[in-house]
């Protein structure tokens, strides 16, 4: 009876652990997908199997295990490699044009359509 009980407890423990691990892997993959592999052509760190990408994946894993948040990992890698490593560049004076141009084009197009409709 005791044996069954302890086996059950151990099994329960493992079943409880799996979702945590799955979450961690999911976050790890998400971060790797948002990072550019700097030595590859058009591949993310997640997609690439280069030495560089594999090391970055390891760093992400280590940082997550140490309790770093997603943003902290992005910040860490940005200080090492510059903003280019991020697929989703932050909104700052270098990226105003990048972020606002589509919106401006959209507004401009909308204004033309609006003017035509009113006519």
Partner 1 sequence: MKKKLISFAVFLSFVFVFIIFFKGLNKSNQYEPKSNILNIPEFTTITFFNKKEINSNNIFNQNKFYLLNIWASWCLPCKDEHSLLLNLSKNDKLDIIGLNYKDNQRNAKKFINELGNPYKKILLDKDGTTAIEWGAFGVPESFLIYQNKIIKKFIGPLDKNSYEEIVKLIQ
Q: Residue 110 is inside which H or E element, if any?
A: helix 96-118
84 binds partner 1 (CB under 8 A): yes
Residue 59's CB is within 10 A of a number of other CB atoms, namely 16
Residue with Cβ nearer partner 1 (6 or 65)? 65
Cα-only R_g, the chain: 23
65 binds partner 1 (CB under 8 A): no
Q: Residue 20 is inside which H or E element, if any?
A: helix 2-33
Q: Which stretch binds partner 1 (CB under 8 A): 11-19, 26-34, 50-58, 108-116?
A: 50-58
Q: Which residues bind partner 1 (CB under 8 A)?
A: 38-39, 51-52, 54-56, 58-59, 62, 78-85
């Amino acid at each position: 009876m005791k044996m069954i009980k302890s086996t059950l407890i151990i099994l329960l423990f493992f079943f409880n652990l799996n979702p945590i691990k799955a979450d961690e892997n999911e976050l790890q993959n998400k971060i790797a997908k948002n990072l550019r592999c700097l030595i590859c052509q058009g591949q993310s760190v997640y997609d690439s199997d280069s030495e560089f990408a594999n090391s970055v994946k390891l760093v992400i894993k280590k940082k997550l295990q140490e309790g770093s948040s997603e943003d902290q990992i992005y910040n860490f890698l940005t200080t090492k490699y510059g903003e280019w490593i991020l697929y989703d560049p932050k909104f700052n004076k270098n990226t105003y044009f990048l972020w606002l141009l589509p919106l401006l084009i959209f507004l401009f197009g909308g204004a033309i359509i609006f003017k035509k409709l009113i006519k």
